[in-house]
Each structure stands twice: as structure tokens, then as C-alpha cells.
Amino acid sequence: MTAPPHPAAADRREAWPAAAPPHAGGPMRQSSGLFPGPSRPTYREAHPVTAAPLLAGLGAGVIWLALFGALARDLAGYAWWTLLAAVTAWIVAVVLTLIGDRGTAVGVALASGVGLSIAVAFVAAEWITTENWPLW
């Protein structure tokens, strides 16, 4: 013969109702029906990065690096001018980020990073093929 469940155990099972998730102030998404119950809140970026400012920053960064690279007469000059252009572009990207134009800052930083990588690749290729460090 089995004993009836303890009354306190029955109270404990009923004392734990499903708690509603806290509302974070964002809009609630509609549930798809796959998982029952309320969905999680959707958090949105205060200043989203869109394509137009990103492409504008990317274009400005490419033009900036091309103008500085055009000042060079040889590989060493190209590498040093590109390094100077990349550092100043990163400073501008930090300023743009602080101002609030993060899309343009991302484009400028992306262009300067890729441009500096290309200059480093040329320096490395020259160093590997001639076994002479080209920057001194």
C-alpha cells in the first residue's frame, strides 16, 4: 500500500507558477508558435550602422590612402606614407566614433586596415625575394 503524498509537497508543486519574463522596454516579438509562451524582448541598437555611411567611409579611406600612396617614389616611401595615412585614418575613425557617426568610422577603419595590410604584404614580398629589409 502506498502512502498518500505529503500535503506540503503538493503545495510546493503548485507554488511555482510560470513567471512572466521581465519586459525590458523594447517591443515584444510575436511568437512563431513553435515554442509556446511569450518571446524574448527585442533589443535595438541606438545608432545602427547602415550601408550608406559605411560605404562613404570606405570610399573616403580608399581615396585617402591612394593620395598618400601617390606621394611615394619607391616601396619604402610607399610603406611609410601608407603607415602615416593609416594612423591618421584610425585617429579620424576614433573621433567619428565619439561624435556618433559609427558607420563612417567603420568604413574608414576598414579601408585603412586593408590598405596597410597591402603595404605590409608588398614589404614582406620584397624582403623575402631580395633578403634585404626595404624600409631602412
44 falls within a domain: no
* Proportion of the chain above pLDDT 70, given as a percent: 71
* pLDDT higher than 80, residue 111: yes
pTM: 0.66
Q: Which residue has the higher pLDDT, 79 or 25?
A: 79
Write out the residue range of the structural domain in which residue 122 sits: 54-130
**CA angle (69, 71, 72) in 5-degree steps:** 75
Instruction: Determine the pLDDT at residue 48.
Output: 81
pLDDT of residue 81: 97
Q: Is 101 inside any structural domain?
A: yes
Q: What is the pLDDT of residues 14-63, one digit of tens each?
A: 555 555 555 555 556 666 667 666 666 777 777 788 999 999 999 999 99
Predicted local confidence at residue 9, as pLDDT: 54
Answer whether residue 11 is part of any domain. no
119 has pLDDT over 90:
yes
Averaged pLDDT for residues 74-95: 96
Q: How many domains does the chain have?
A: 1
